[in-house]
Amino acid sequence: MLKSTIKISLALFLFISCAESSTKREEPRPLVYEGMSADELRGVLGEPKEIDDRGEIFDAQSMTKMSLQHWIYDKRVVILINDTVKDPNLN
C-alpha cells in the first residue's frame, strides 16, 4: 500500500511539474539571418532604437575598407558590415 502511494504521488508530482513548464511560452523572435540586407532587416525588425556607427574596418582579403554598424533594438544587437547582416544574434 505504501509503495503504491509513493508511486502515485511521484507520478502526480511529475505530471504537475510538466504541465507548469508547458504553460510558459517565449515570444518567437523574428528571423534574422547572416547575409540579410539592411532593407530586409528594417522590414523584419523595424527601425532600430539606435544605430552605432563604428567607422570602418579593413578587409585584408579584398584590400578594402568596409563600414561597420551596430543596430541596437530592445532585445538584440545586430552587426552590419557594408549594409549586410554579419552577426544577427548578439544579446
Give the helix/strand (H/E) hosting 67: strand 64-72
The confidence band for 40, taking pLDDT boundaries of 50, 70 and 90, is very high
Q: What pLDDT sits at residue 83?
A: 86
Tell me: pLDDT of 91 over 60.
no
Say how many CA atoms lie within 13 Å of 50 toward its Cβ.
9
How many domains would you assign to the chain? 1
Q: Residues 42-72: pLDDT tens digits?
A: 998 899 999 998 888 888 888 899 999 999 9
Q: What pLDDT sits at residue 43?
A: 92
Q: Where are the alpha helices (DSSP H) in 1-91?
A: 2-23, 38-45
Q: How far apart are CA 55 and CA 80, in angstroms?
A: 11
Q: What pLDDT sits at residue 23?
A: 55
Total-model pTM: 0.61
Q: How far apart are CA 57 and CA 88, in angstroms?
A: 18
- Give the domain range for residue 82: 2-90
